[in-house]
Amino acid sequence: MHIDIITLLPNFWNNIIKTLPIIKKFLILKKNNIDIINLRNYGIKKGKKLCVDDYQYGGGHGMVIRLEPIYKCIKKLKKNNKYNNIIYLTPDSPIYNQNIAKELSKSNKILFISGYFKGIDQRIRDYIITNEFSLGNYIISNGDISTLIVIDSIIRLLPGILGNIKSTYSDSFNKYYYDYPLYTRPYIYKNMKVPSILLSGNHSRILKWRKKQIKKKIETIKDTK
């Protein structure tokens, strides 16, 4: 898989690539690659600076990423790449989920546009981007954080990334909606015990117990929304 990321924070990604184990593992495997593209290099020259943002038409608070830098950047990238998806993460879009991650993991080439400032020119969204997703009903400081989350969710599904690919089958949002409670050794620690059913060896009873715990979790989460 080849991933391109258009960003205003290239150093953020350079550090992530060096330190995050799952991305390091992804890059070790043949035919996998991540390229970081600094949008500032495609900015509009104003004096000694290359500008990528401007004020909103119609007034309003917050700067907006201009159309031209992203358009020029993507036009250059498309000369050598045929993207399956061009993705933009933004709160006002459908919620991203595990099924989407599975579909994206089948892609050969993906381009991410990391948002910044108030947002990006709507024409980019209307004419260039192929997929928009939201990570939830909240705001974070920049799109690179959400882009990283989506990339992590995709590449961990690829063969050879995790030590045991079967572990992804039992993750939350796969077979069941949420994961069941997890326990490991020791059996007792400071009077805190593992549920005895998990040591019974009766797998049908354990499965029934786990489903019951998942159901409880779903009901609890529903009550808090």
Query: Coil, helix or strand for 110?
Result: strand
Instruction: Provide the pLDDT for residue 51.
Output: 94
Give yes or no: residues 106 and 18 share one domain.
yes
- Please write the tens of the pLDDT for every residue from 76-128: 999 999 999 999 999 999 999 999 999 999 999 999 999 999 999 999 999 99
Give yes or no: residues 197 and 92 share one domain.
no
SS (H, E, C) 168-224: HHHCCCCCCCCCCCCCCCCCEECCEECCHHHHCCCHHHHHHHHHHHHHHHHHHHHHH
- Please write the tens of the pLDDT for every residue from 135-185: 998 889 999 999 999 999 999 999 989 865 555 555 554 555 678 888 888
CA distance 135 to 137: 7
Query: Coil, helix or strand for 37?
Result: strand
DSSP for 86-107, written as a single string:
EEEE-TTSPBP-HHHHHHHTT-
C-alpha distances (whole Å) from 82 to each of 32, 74, 86, 109 are 15, 11, 10, 7
Instruction: Provide the pLDDT for residue 66.
Output: 94
Give yes or no: residues 190 and 137 share one domain.
no
Confidence of residue 30 (pLDDT cuts 50, 70, 90): confident
Query: Coil, helix or strand for 157?
Result: coil
The least confident of 101-110, 193-202, 214-223 is 214-223
Give yes or no: residues 143 and 217 share one domain.
no
Give yes or no: residues 98 and 46 share one domain.
yes
Answer whether residue 161 is part of any domain.
no
| Stretch 188-212: mean pLDDT | 93
Confidence of residue 63 (pLDDT cuts 50, 70, 90): very high
Give yes or no: residues 43 and 132 share one domain.
yes
Confidence of residue 57 (pLDDT cuts 50, 70, 90): confident
CA distance 21 to 137: 29
- Number of domains the chain contains: 2
Give yes or no: residues 97 and 148 share one domain.
yes
Boundary (domain end) residue, out of 155, 185, 206: 155
Boundary (domain end) residue, out of 106, 123, 155: 155
Give yes or no: residues 34 and 90 share one domain.
yes
Give yes or no: residues 184 and 148 share one domain.
no
Query: Coil, helix or strand for 55?
Result: coil
Answer whether residue 167 is part of any domain.
no
The four Cα atoms 97, 103, 106, 110 give a dihedral, to 10 degrees, of -70
Answer whether residue 184 is part of any domain.
yes
Boundary (domain end) residue, out of 103, 125, 155: 155
CATH code of residue 210: 1.10.1270.20
Give yes or no: residues 189 and 106 share one domain.
no
Q: Domain containing 112: what range?
A: 2-155
CATH code of residue 64: 3.40.1280.10
Residues 6+ apart with CB under 8 A from 156: 22, 162, 168
Positive/negative CA dihedral, 57, 59, 65, 69: positive
Instruction: Provide the pLDDT for residue 50.
Output: 94
Of 37, 12, 26, the closest CA to residue 113 belongs to 37
Between strands 109-113 and 85-89, the pairing is: parallel
Instruction: Provide the pLDDT for residue 155.
Output: 96
Answer whether residue 50 is part of any domain.
yes
Give yes or no: residues 101 and 197 share one domain.
no
Q: Are the C-beta atoms of residues 152 and 96 closer than 8 Å to each other?
A: no
Give yes or no: residues 147 and 191 share one domain.
no
Answer whether residue 170 is part of any domain.
no
pTM: 0.83
